[in-house]
Structure 1
Amino acid sequence: MNAAFSSAAVNPNSTPTNSVFLPHKYSKTSARAEAGISVPRKRRDFSQTQLSVHGIPCTHLLVHEIVQRQSQKNNSSTSLDACPNPSSHPMFLEEAYERCKDICAENAKTFYLGTQLMTEERKKAIWAIYVWCRRTDELVDGPNAVHLTSAVLDRWEERLENIFNGRPYDMLDATLADTVHKFPLDIKPFKDMIEGMRMDTRKNRYANFQELYLYCYYVAGTVGLMSVPVMGIAPESSLSAQTIYNAALYLGIGNQLTNILRDVGEDASRGRVYLPQDELEKFGLCDKDVFSRKVTEGWREFMKEQIRRARFFFDLAEEGANQLHKASRWPVWSSLMLYRMILDSIEKNDYDNLTKRAYVGRTKKLMALPVAYAKALSSPRTTPPWQSC
Structure 2
Amino acid sequence: CAEYPKTFYLGTLLMTPERRRAIWAIYVRCRRTDELVDGPNASHITPTALDRWESRLEDLFQGRPFDMLDAALSDTVVKFPIDIQPFKDMIEGMRMDLRKSRYKNFDELYLYCYYVAGTVGLMSVSVMGIAPESKASTESVYNAALALGIANQLTNILRDVGEDARRGRVYLPQDELTEAGLSDEDIFAAKVTDKWRLFMKEQIKRARMFFDEAEKGVTELSSASRWPVWASLLLYRQILDEIEANDYD
Q: What TM-score, normalized to structure 2?
A: 0.99
What's the secondary structure of 1:117's corresponding residue? coil
Matched, 1:230 2:116: no
Structure with greater Cα Rg: 1
Following the alignment from structure 1 to structure 2, what is the Cα–Cα distance between the partners of residues 186 and 334?
25
- Matched ranges for 1:1-80 at <5 A: 29=2
The correspondence for 2:36, drawn from 127, 131, 139, is: 139
Q: Which runs of 4+ in 1 moved over 6 A?
A: none
What residue number does 2:105 align with? 208
Compared with structure 1, are the counterparts of its residues 30 and 163 closer, same or farther at alpha carbon in structure 2 (3 Å cutoff)?
A: farther
Report the 3-state secondary structure (helix = DSSP H, G, I; strand = E; otherwise coil) of the residue aligned with 1:284. Answer: coil
Give the whole-Å Cα distance in 2 for the aligned partners of 1:143 and 1:346: 27
What letter matches 2:25 in structure 1?
Answer: A
Q: Distance in 2 between matches of 1:261 and 1:342?
A: 9
Which segments of 5 or more consecutive residues in structure 1 lack a partner in the other structure? 4-28, 32-107, 353-389
Deviations 1:63-104 (A, max 9, x none): xxxxxxxxxxxxxxxxxxxxxxxxxxxxxxxxxxxxxxxxxx
Instruction: Supply the distance in 1 between the matched residues of 2:34 and 2:232 (Cα, whole angstroms).
Output: 19
Amino acid at match of 2:46: T
Q: Does 1:149 find its partner at 2:46?
A: yes
Match of 1:277 among 169, 174, 178: 174
1:327-342 → structure 2 map (5 Å cutoff): 327-342=224-239
Distance 1:334 1:133 in 2: 18
* Structure with higher helix content: 2
Match of 1:250 among 144, 147, 156: 147
Alignment partner of 2:221 out of 297, 315, 324: 324
Q: Secondary structure at the match of 2:93?
A: helix
3-state DSSP of counterpart to 1:323: coil
Native 8 Å contact 1:30 1:134 kept in 2 = no
1:313 and 2:210 correspond: yes
Look up the match of 2:85: 188
Partner-residue secondary structure (3-state), 2:219: helix
How far did residue 319 of structure 1 move?
1.2
Aligned-pair Cα RMSD in Å:
1.0
Counterpart residue number, 1:53: none
CA distance in 1, matches of 2:197, 2:241: 14
Whether the 8 Å CA contact 1:206–1:276 is kept in 2: the answer is yes
Distance 2:194 2:96 in 1: 32
How many Å separate the matches in 1 of 2:42 and 2:180?
34
